[in-house]
Amino acid sequence: MEEIIQHLTPLVKEISGYIYPNEIEMHWSLLIVLYPYITGLVAGAFILASLVKVFNVKELQPVYRISLLTALAFMLVAPLPLQAHLGHPEKSFEIFLTPNVTSAMAMFGFVYMWYLMAVLQLEIWFDYRKDLILWARQEKGIRKWIHRFTSFFSNDISEKAIAFDEKAEKIITILGIPSAFLLHGYVGFIFGSVKANPWWSSVLMPIVFLFSAIVSGIALVLLIYMIVTPMRSKQVDMNCLDKLASFLFYAMIVDFSLEILDFIHRIYESEESIHILSELVSGKLFISLVVVQLLIGMIIPLGAIAVTKAFKAPAELKKLIYFTSAILVQVGIFSTRWNVVVGGQLFSKSFRGLTAYKMTFLGLEGLLVAIAILVLPLIILYVLFKLLPPWEEARMKIPVIQENINENN
């Protein structure tokens, strides 16, 4: 208690205007910024993968498995920031016991479980099953057993079974697209449905979240592909990279238009809250919204990619531009999440003043934990890459002479 009071007391000086006395404490801080950021990456990476399966974008085949594993790695971490920010993390299971049907947040567990179990892992399982069986046959020791276990001791690599895998995968992907939309649109809805908060309360919120998710997911896979390929001393597939950049570009245009639409709509409708919101945007949010989110995270990378499209740039230059753009996009999207989550709490619901936020370094809701949560999926991804190599050359061909395998062993 003393700690909290010591944390809050200096904030009083940073308040401008009048805020309700209970509003000094910022309740959703850095960790809740991470939550939509991470689920956005998941949804974006998955939608990228579905481009290959559903829309038959052949150029993106090299990143298909990478994006699935990326989605999985980040998905596994997604509930951590939520869990850590709770006042009582040990009671979080109650959300599964007695979910309140009118609560957007109560649905989180179910949306998450559905997406993780029924979509993401299932699709990965079907995609890898044949390879898992064939890898296991060549391997020895622990890897053999890991692969056998992850295939659930499956054995059938008959033509019929593989055809079934492909069919199932396609069905799951088709189901997966609305599910990915649900996963992240739903996160947007958590904020967009809070009528008390004019900065959040917007019907566009889920859609803006969704498109920014696609942007961030594509940019992340592009980054991972560009970093990992040279590390394996392989050549980056330029066709694939160009295609990734194109999709990134289109998604950004849609995202940018939606954000601008939201902005214009607010100014044009000019509701009661407009005064405090413009004070917020031109003051405490100016750097993170106008400079980082819009200029650095959106306009500069958009322009840069547009230039590579307009003038046929040499491959090396293109790579450099794509790489920097993707990094800028990540910074921009993180800033987008920041501006939504933190920005929405920087003004009083009395619309008469601005509150303040001071990030802590240590503690459950501090910077250190946040960094750990951001690094963790990369570690998981490394392990996944080791266990389930997503590279094209790791794909196994079915041996021509098939052994007679007993299905029941």
Partner 1 sequence: MKFKFNPDDLKSLVKKSFSSDNINKRRQSMKFFWKNLPEQIRRLSVVAVILFALPLVVRQLLIPTDFGKYGHYRASALDEIVSQEIHYAGRELCNECHDDVVEVKYNGYHKTLTCEVCHGPAFAHTEDDAIELEAPRKRSYCPTCHEYLPSRPSGFPQIISARHNSRKACIKCHDPHDPKPPETPRECKACHAEISYTKAVSKHVDIPCTRCHQTPEEHKIRPREVLPSKPHNREFCGSCHALDAESSEDIPRIDLFEHERRYNCWQCHYPHLPEAN
Partner 2 sequence: MKKWQSENANGMKRRKFIKNILFSLAALTTPAVLSAQEALKKLQTWIIGEDYNPFEHYWGMGIDINKCIGCGKCADACKKENDVPKAPFFFRTWVERYRIFKSGKTFVDSPNGAINGFRKPYYESEDKDKVIRSFFVPKICNHCDNPPCVQVCPVGATFKTPDGVVLVDGDYCIGCRYCIQACPYGARFLHPEKRTAEKCTFCYHRVVKGLVPACVEICPTQTRIFGEIKKKASPLMRFMRKHKIGVLKPSLNTEPKVYYANLDMEVR
Residues that bind partner 1 (CB under 8 A): 93, 96-98, 100-101, 117, 122, 125-126, 129, 151-156, 159-168, 407
End-to-end alpha carbon distance in the chain: 60
Q: Which residue has the tokens 């999985």?
A: 72
Q: What angle do CA 377, 193, 22 make, to 5 degrees?
A: 90
Q: Least CB distance from residue 264 to partner 2, whole Å?
A: 22
What b-and-e string marks burial along 223-260, b requiring 16 or more CB atoms within 10 Å of the CB?
bbbbebbeeeeeebbeebbbbbbebbbebbebbbebbe
Chain contacts with partner 2 (rule: CB under 8 A): 1, 4-5, 8, 18-25, 27-28, 82, 85-89, 91-92, 94-95, 97-100, 102-106, 108, 190, 194-197, 345, 348-352
Q: Least CB distance from residue 107 to partner 1, whole Å?
A: 14
Cross-strand bridge partners of residue 17: 353
Q: Where are the alpha helices (DSSP H) in 193-314?
A: 205-231, 238-269, 274-282, 300-310
Is the CB of 22 or the CB of 406 nearer to partner 1? 406
Q: Binds 323, which of partner 1, partner 2, none (CB < 5 to 8 A, cut-off by type)?
A: none
Q: Least CB distance from residue 158 to partner 1, whole Å?
A: 9
Q: Least CB distance from residue 352 to partner 2, whole Å?
A: 6
- Of 322, 155, 363, nearest to 239 by C-alpha is 322
Is the CB of 58 or the CB of 88 nearer to partner 2? 88
Q: Least CB distance from residue 102 to partner 1, whole Å?
A: 9
Q: How far is CA 299 from CA 255, 262, 295, in A?
A: 11, 17, 5
Give the three-state DSSP class for 47. Answer: helix
Q: Binds 95, which of partner 1, partner 2, none (CB < 5 to 8 A, cut-off by type)?
A: partner 2
Is the CB of 45 or the CB of 205 nearer to partner 2? 205
Cα–Cα distance for residue pair 31/7, rounded to 1 Å:
17
Is the CB of 312 or the CB of 397 nearer to partner 1? 397
Q: Binds 147, which of partner 1, partner 2, none (CB < 5 to 8 A, cut-off by type)?
A: none
